[in-house]
Amino acid sequence: MLLGFLFAAEAFVVVAPRGVVRRRGFFAGGWSEEENVDDKINNNNTASSDLYAALRSRQRQVEKEGAELTVRWRKGKCTSRVVAALGDDWVRRCALDWPLCALGTASGSVHVVDVSKPPRVLAQDSGTPAHVRYYDGGQDLSPLHGAYDGGGVTAIALTAATLATGGRAGDVKLWNVNGPEVTLEATMRCGEGVVVSALCAARGTRAVFAACLDGSVRRYDPEWRESWCERTGDPVLSLALHPTERVLACGLADGTVVLLNALDGTPVGDLRWRPFDASGARSVAFAFAYLYAASSDGQVKRRLLDDDLGAYVDKYDEQLGPPHDGPVVSLAARPGILATAAQDGTLRIWDLGPRSDKQPPPCLFGFGGFKVWIGSVDCDDRRLISDGSDNTIIMHDFGPDAASPNIPPSR
């Protein structure tokens, strides 16, 4: 974007033979009748140089701030506070797109909160009724929740323009969050009693992807039409969209991860990866050039992708350790950092920075005290949120105005 801007700025430089005087044809605005082109070139070159210097200075400042923020993450320098609380309902899923946080609850309600403002206590009936709490005769949810099914919303995704929520009755609901109130735009049906297990939303195209325990994966376009449906052959537990929005990763209950073309749903090359032989691929995420997968028995592995996203560079897996002591239900990544949330009651922060010893990313520290019903973790460059704290959402802010570390590293 910087280069494009600079090229656009240079495009205003007038190239003409030296000493040419060009007569202007417009005088109404008080312009000089004659203009020396040499002077114009010199003035424009000076302006371009000044603009370039200003942009380079700003770029260096942004890079410095980004590096300092990553150091704060690595050292655990954050402040932690409750940003939302439900009076009589439990949070089961959450998603962050600053300044908004979306909550899906055990009762099936959906709330959207501006977490830049002081925390609010939300009544259960203040949410938008969205999904059923339980569904009699529906699919077995144990591949998704294990022994701990807390009811209500089963999947959630949020971007600046769109909120998507999923439930256990085969319904995907699409909401507009741009106005003063959250409004329902469409309800899509994936099948009677089919559990919607995972959702993700594309920021650029505004498409929404939905996965279900019947093995189906669907794409909904911004007009909320189903553009494709692919059958994977096994229950889908997790989804992740590559930052380019070209490739969709699907974690399956048999421990396999498959990659689909996000535009048409077709499998991408020969990229069927099975990192787990004895458990499901409970969560997946893209970070830098790697695809990460976490299992229903606590393992976290990664594999390197090539630049074209058409093949794995290496045919072996790297395992992050130590493993969690329960299913890893959610992954979230930001530059240099991976966060993992598990039913062992912990969030762990992993360092994805380059290592001279070529070893897998180390665990830096963790947050503890979460309940077994934890279902999601999400982050942006400076903030981390999760559910699993009963009726509250806790946000950890690693910004430069945060206090000294308040969470000791766990080794």
DSSP assignment string, 373-393: T---EEE-SSEEEEEEETTEE
Same domain, 57 and 144: no
pLDDT value at residue 272: 87
The answer as to whether 376 is a domain residue is: yes
Q: Which two structure tokens, joined as six digits, stand for 347? A: 């969030």
The answer as to whether 114 is a domain residue is: no
pLDDT digits (tens, 9 = 90+) for 161-199: 789 999 999 999 999 988 778 889 999 999 988 999 999
pLDDT value at residue 235: 97
Same domain, 35 and 149: no
pLDDT value at residue 20: 40
pLDDT value at residue 309: 82
Q: What is the Cα 291 distance to its own chain's centre?
A: 14
Same domain, 142 and 22: no
The answer as to whether 159 is a domain residue is: yes
Whole-prediction pTM value? 0.84
Domain boundary among the residues 67, 85, 102 is at 67
Angle at 208 between CA 291 and CA 105, to 5 degrees: 90
pLDDT value at residue 227: 95
Q: Which of 97, 156, 99, 29 is nearest to 379 (CA)?
A: 97
Same domain, 39 and 162: no
Q: How many domains is the chain partitioned into structurally? A: 2
The side-by-side arrangement of strands in the sheet containing 318-320 is: 281-287, 290-295, 300-304, 318-320
Torsion of CA 276, 277, 282, 284, to 10 degrees: 30
Domain that holds residue 18: 2-67
Same domain, 213 and 343: yes
The answer as to whether 126 is a domain residue is: no
The answer as to whether 118 is a domain residue is: no
Q: Which helix (H) or strand (E) holds 209?
A: strand 208-212
Q: Which two structure tokens, joined as six digits, stand for 95? A: 């998603």
Same domain, 308 and 190: yes
Residue ranges in the chain modelled with pLDDT below 70: 1-44, 402-411
Domain boundary among the residues 40, 67, 94 is at 67
Same domain, 303 and 391: yes
Q: What is the chain's length?
A: 411
What is the domain-level CATH number for residue 192?
2.130.10.10
pLDDT value at residue 45: 72
Q: Which of 63, 101, 102, 87 is nearest to 390 (CA)?
A: 87
In angstroms, rounded to a whole number, what is the distance separating the alpha carbons of residues 91 and 103? 6
The answer to whether the beta carbons of residues 300 and 294 sit under 8 Å apart is yes
The answer to whether the beta carbons of residues 112 and 182 sit under 8 Å apart is yes
The answer to whether the beta carbons of residues 388 and 375 sit under 8 Å apart is yes
The answer as to whether 120 is a domain residue is: no
The answer as to whether 216 is a domain residue is: yes
